[in-house]
Structure 1
Amino acid sequence: MSWGTTYLVTTEFLPPGIPLLSGVLRVLPAGLLLLLIARRLPAGDWWWRCAVLGMLNIGAFNTLLFVAAYRLPGGVAATLIAVQPLLVAGLAFALLGERPTRWRLGWGVAGVVGVGLIVLRGTITFDLVGILAGLAAAASMSAGVVLTKRWGRPPGTGTLAFTGWQLTASGLLLLPVALLVEGLPPMPDAAALGGYAWLAIIGTAVAYVLWFQGLGRLPVTAVSFLPLLSPAVAAALGWLVLGQALTPIQGAGFALALLSIAAAQLPPPFAEKGKA
């Protein structure tokens, strides 16, 4: 749900035109803060594993999402990202041996439809690069989620350290790219500082700690539905805070998205024991 505040904070408080630098300012301070609290660094293979997981879960995902958002209407980009539960189901079967059920696959399709009803408005623009970037963003986070589940974490490593490793790795890898493409950021005003503080502390440090904690406890195909809350929360904030209209069709989409998220957390009805 906290990820759903990103759109409101970005459009209302952050300087425009620096999406990559904004991404770095969001994840790198959060990662360093968690490392300072956890006081533990990775060892051995976990140096490159954290770099891979950080880029898939955070760095590459957010970069590709920005590309899609800039080239496509926001509703189209959000709908493309909503295919994530279906991608996770396929990857979880291939890498984890978790066989997808028709129950969750069906609710995955329903979730895409629900998000589409919430965010798709007016004429749809088809931009091949934007569409490919949106699908690649969904595939990136899907792969990150499944690999996180497959690799687990080193024995004795807490969620704070594990999250801090990934955030710091993704921030450090994105920093030179952002500086090369966008140059130095403008001096932020008080509103921008507040926006970056919210995104870094609540929308990143706290949110990703909770995300990876939940990912360690829930089936990967079930947890993959939870990001569908993000566009739903963004639409609700647009209605409550910005006074944007919310049509009955969008309300129906909101209800369908929430229903798909809730239903995906439950075992299929009438399923044989052990196959839920």
Structure 2
Amino acid sequence: MLFALGLIWGGSFLGVELALTGFGPVTLAASRIALAAVLLWILVRWRGDAVPRLSDPKGPRIWLHLVIFALFTNAVPFALLSWAQGSVTSGFAGITMAVVPLLVLPLAHLMVPGEQMTRRKLAGFLIGFVGVVVLIGLPEGSGSNLARLACVAASCCYAIGSINTRLCPPVGLVAYSAAGLGLAAAIMIPAALLIEGVPSVPDATALGGVLYLGLFPTALATVMLVSVTRSAGPSFLSLVNYQVPVWAVILGAAVLGERLPAAFLGALALIVGGMLVSRPKLQRIRP
């Protein structure tokens, strides 16, 4: 299942490339969020799950976390990546997702008790940071520097969203995700209509890209994530971060004929090397 998650999330960048042939970036983000929200709300109703009400003791805090989840795990990064992929390749966008666990390190140091920045974590962060500088700063390759920065900014959003979810009081993950996606849809649908207007009827390629994004990386992957987390733990789930960039590059090359400069692949090696260094030895051998 972890292998399938890496393939599904890695394929999301290919899905964005296909969907952009018929949708604007904001409309694309709104469409995939709305579709996934509807599907997960159906699942939540079938399971009988629920998010605590605002009147419950922990309700206001949970809903504050949900607002942050909606913004930083869904609305903002989806819009940034959709816009950036109008310029950068899907493989490049996928590579930047390897930055997420590195960015979690300093955030966890500041916000999560017991997650102090050790020498090993600091060394891994610095190695990975060099890879990020290579990604953004080199003149060769696809996309403007602004588009590359947008991809890294999306990674920052995912790191913030990860810490936010970790700090949230206990709540059913599927119900939490459905509520967060519902809030994100309430933000993005009006924004899409205001910025890009009512979309025209898309072609089959664009529609297929949106359906893939809504059904698989945004909805189904959440259910799979719950299963993996409960059966093997969050440390094991974090191994998916090693797969996503690889699948993004492979699918971009195989389907779209994309080619990335060797410097970008070197940057990926630095980022993944930083991730490996930052993980404790026991985690790397046996999560």
Is 2:153 aligned against 1:136? yes
CA contact (8 A) 2:36 2:214 kept: yes
Equivalent residue number for residue 273 of structure 1: none
The structure showing larger relative contact order (alpha-carbon pairs under 8 Å, at least 6 residues apart) is: 2
Equivalent residue number for residue 7 of structure 1: 13
Equivalent residue number for residue 272 of structure 1: none
Code of the residue aligned with 1:148 in structure 2: it is T
CA contact (8 A) 2:14 2:252 kept: yes
Q: Tell me the matched-pair count.
A: 263
Q: Percent identity?
A: 27
Task: Give the C-alpha shift of residue 96 in structure 1.
Answer: 0.7
Task: Give the C-alpha shift of residue 258 in structure 1.
Answer: 5.6
What secondary structure is seen at the aligned counterpart in 2 of 1:241?
helix
Code of the residue aligned with 1:180 in structure 2: it is L
Quote the Cα distance in structure 2 between the aligned partners of 1:232 and 1:103: 25
What secondary structure is seen at the aligned counterpart in 2 of 1:184?
coil
Moved more, 249-258 or 86-95: 249-258
Q: Work out which of the residue numbers 158, 174, 189 in structure 2 matches 1:175.
A: 189
Residue 241 to residue 117, structure 1, CA distance change in 2 (3 Å)? farther
Equivalent residue number for residue 49 of structure 1: 65
Compare the two structures and name the one with the higher helix fraction. Answer: 2
Equivalent residue number for residue 281 of structure 2: 268
Moved more, 64-73 or 227-236: 64-73
Is 2:75 aligned against 1:62? no
Quote the Cα distance in structure 1 between the aligned partners of 2:170 and 2:252: 38
Residue 92 to residue 214, structure 1, CA distance change in 2 (3 Å)? farther
The TM-score normalised by the length of structure 1 is 0.75
CA contact (8 A) 1:93 1:100 kept: yes
Code of the residue aligned with 2:78 in structure 1: it is N
The TM-score normalised by the length of structure 2 is 0.72
Is 2:47 aligned against 1:31? no
Code of the residue aligned with 1:204 in structure 2: it is T
Q: Work out which of the residue numbers 109, 114, 122 in structure 1 matches 2:140.
A: 122
Equivalent residue number for residue 150 of structure 1: 167
Quote the Cα distance in structure 1 between the aligned partners of 2:154 and 2:263: 27
- RMSD of aligned C-alpha atoms? 3.8
CA contact (8 A) 1:75 1:121 kept: no
Structure 2: any 5+ residue segments left out of the alignment? 1-5, 55-59
Equivalent residue number for residue 203 of structure 1: 217
Residue 259 to residue 94, structure 1, CA distance change in 2 (3 Å)? closer
CA contact (8 A) 1:76 1:116 kept: no
